[in-house]
Chain A
Amino acid sequence: MVNNGVKIEVQGLEIWFDQIYALKPLNIQIKDKEILGVIGPANSGKTTFLRSLNRFNDLNDNFRFKGSISLDGKNIHKDIAVGELRKKVGMVFALPIPLPLSIFENVVYGPRRHGVNDKNKLEEIVERTLKEAYLWDEVKDRLQVSGMKLSGGQQQRLCLARTLAVEPDVILYDEPCSGLDPISTAKIEEAMSRFKDKYTQILVTNNTKQAARVSDRTAFFLMGDLVEIDRTDKMFTYPSDSRTNDYISGRFG
């Protein structure tokens, strides 16, 4: 259940990696089915923040945190099993990493692990998610070809389809277009816009123009602090903080 339109609530979150204070006390509410753009220079804490939402930081031995994160009102560290959390909160990475399997098997990898084995059901998932990821028309005649044979842009859309296959509520994107050409980038962005009524999406990007094009709200992080969060149109015309102005105008970072 979504609480008052809030999908994810972060309260007093602080993160350390050994002695490094990566994220200073953070309070942020992510609305249901919004696209939140997250921007900031290197070491701003934006990726650390993103990875905290599906407990990816937990994989790092030196990771420590304080505060709480809840998804639909449930504490993600106490009330939800990690596996369940990562099913609900999918992630698309900067580098597309297809599994050394066919296109078909790449997409159904998640559903199979969650116990779906019915052939018709799996075919349905493959068609639906590849269409959603704008890849279907390009690969529908060669679903048995290795996913690794696809171009970079196609591989990224395959990874997106793989994420969609487990029917997440939230999709996290960590620089999803950093290695892609403008057309592939446009396809990913178009897919994100189409998902608006279906998923809550959080996009970490170094490309501020991409945040401007795609997101409803944008959050600007700097040295572990959330400097500003506002409607994207407001942020890119009249930001409240001069550091935001300087960053999005390319004056530093």
Chain B
Amino acid sequence: MHRHFDEALKNLKEKILRMSGLVEEIIGTAIKALLERNSELAYKVIKSDDAINMLEIEIDDLCMKLLALYQPTAGDLRFITSTMKICNDLERIADLGVNIAQRTLDLLKVPPLKVKIDIPKMATASREMLKDSLNAFVNKDSKLAYEVCKRDDEVDKLNHEIFMAVFQCTPEDQKPVERVIDLILVAKNLERIADHSTNICEDVIYLVDGKVIKHHITD
């Protein structure tokens, strides 16, 4: 049976997918701006955050209306509550992208650090986690979601390695101090992107399997 409610759910799904696409794009662009030292792209990232913020408000509003008007249950209920949480994570991820862009603009004021710090590797790992978490959501693929959750440890490890590498630079390389702090902050932002991607995957697992795996991943 077709329900009027299905139209509203479809509308919600379209919005959250649009937001996912924009967030994935903003993170891709922020990383590109960082690695290619491209200020134009960094500014583009900072500007595009507004659209994501607006979508967050629209999605929250729509979810509240659907809960109030239709009092959904079971699969519909899990979809709406998961969407609300994922929407929140997506908005935070976009903010982290903006942070990376702002650090990039600062880093552009000084020459690059001579010591090799593997930001590209970490950036790729975080971006892939984000991409796969959104794929898991779109395709309701809890197996992929579990797999992405496990990758969070790897990103944490890379973050730690970057921190140690910066820490072990010669006093000469550590100057100016703003440069190494910016690099540490960039790594921290990438690590937070991976954390939020993990949150998204946890919500996907609840959405699909009805299981709560937060705080004690078992499978």
Residues of A within 8 A of B (CB): 208-209, 212, 235-239, 244-245, 248-252
Contacts and interface: CB of A to CB of B under 8 A. Distances in A.
B1 A238 contact: no
Interface of B: 1, 3, 5, 71-78, 210
Given A251-B1, A251-B3, A238 B73 contact: no
B78 A249 contact: no
A52 to B, nearest CB: 28
Given A251-B1, A252-B1, A209 B71 contact: yes
B142 to A, nearest CB: 13
A245 B1 contact: no
B210 A248 contact: no
A195 to B, nearest CB: 25
A40 B13 CA distance: 29
30 contacts: A208-B73, A209-B71, A212-B73, A235-B74, A236-B73, A236-B74, A236-B77, A237-B73, A237-B74, A237-B77, A237-B78, A237-B210, A238-B74, A238-B78, A239-B74, A244-B74, A245-B74, A245-B75, A248-B73, A248-B74, A249-B72, A249-B73, A249-B74, A249-B75, A249-B76, A250-B1, A250-B3, A251-B1, A251-B3, A252-B1
A73 B114 CA distance: 84
Contacts of A208: 73
Contacts of B76: 249
A244 B210 CA distance: 15
Which of B72, B73, B76, B77 has the most chain A CB atoms closer than 10 A to its own CB? B73
Main secondary structure of the interface of A (DSSP, over half): helix
Contacts of B3: 250-251
A237 B3 CA distance: 19
4 pairs of A and B residues whose beta carbons are closest in the complex? A238-B210, A245-B74, A236-B73, A248-B73
A252 B77 CA distance: 17
A105 B72 CA distance: 44
Given A237-B73, A249-B73, A250-B3, 5 more contacts: A237-B77, A237-B210, A249-B75, A250-B1, A252-B1
B73 to A, nearest CB: 5
A101 B76 CA distance: 49
A155 to B, nearest CB: 28
Contacts of B74: 235-239, 244-245, 248-249
A209 B72 CA distance: 10
A149 B65 CA distance: 41
Contacts of A235: 74
A252 B71 CA distance: 16
